[in-house]
Amino acid sequence: DAKTTQPPSMDCAEGRAANLPCNHSTISGNEYVYWYRQIHSQGPQYIIHGLKNNETNEMASLIITEDRKSSTLILPHATLRDTAVYYCIVRVAWETSGSRLTFGEGTQLTVNP
C-alpha cells in the first residue's frame, strides 16, 4: 500500500470548514484513498473513500487531485465533536488483500469554540 503524509496537527474554528490535506505521491492506479477518524478513547470510524472522482456523504467531502497524488478531506461546518485524529489511508479495493488497513500517525484536528 502507498505511503501517505499528513500534517501532525491542525486547528479549526467551530462552524468553519476544516480542510485536512494528505499527500500520496506514490499511489497506484488501483489504490483508493480512505479516511478514518478516531475520537479520544474510541475506535476508528470510517468517514469516506474515493478512487479519482470527488466524493461527498453526510459526514464529509473528499477532493482528489487530477494526478491523484494528493487529496483533501473537508468537514464543511466543524463542530467540537469533530475533534479527533484523522487518518488518510491508501490501499487497493476492499475485496483484495484481506481488507487490512495500514494506519499512519494521522492529523490531530482540534476544533476550537
Partner 1 sequence: DTGVSQDPRHKITKRGQNVTFRCDPISEHNRLYWYRQTLGQGPEFLTYFQNEAQLEKSRLLSDRFSAERPKGSFSTLEIQRTEQGDSAMYLCASSLPGLPLHFGNGTRLTVT
Q: How far is the CB of 111 from partner 1 (least distance, A)?
A: 20
Residue type, 27: I
User: Could you tell me the sign of the dihedral formed by the alpha carbons of 61, 65, 69, 72, in that order?
Assistant: negative
Residues 70-89 that bind partner 1 (CB under 8 A): 85, 87
In terms of CB distance, is 32 or 52 closer to partner 1? 32
Residue 74 Cβ vs partner 1, minimum distance, rounded to whole Å:
19
Closest CA to 19 of 81, 82, 66, 67: 82
Q: Of 10-69, which residues contact partner 1 (CB under 8 A)?
A: 34, 41-46, 49
Q: How far apart are the C-alpha atoms of 25 and 5, rounded to whole Å?
A: 9
DSSP 43: -
111 within 8 A of 86, measured Cβ to Cβ: no
Question: Measured from the CB atom, is 17 or 39 closer to partner 1?
Answer: 39
- Cβ 17 vs Cβ 109: under 8 Å: no
Using CB under 8 A, which of 58, 81, 100, 113 touches partner 1?
A: 100
Segment interacting with partner 1, rule: CB under 8 A, options 21-29, 64-72, 73-81, 100-108: 100-108
Residues of this chain that bind partner 1 (CB under 8 A): 34, 41-46, 49, 85, 87, 93-95, 98-106
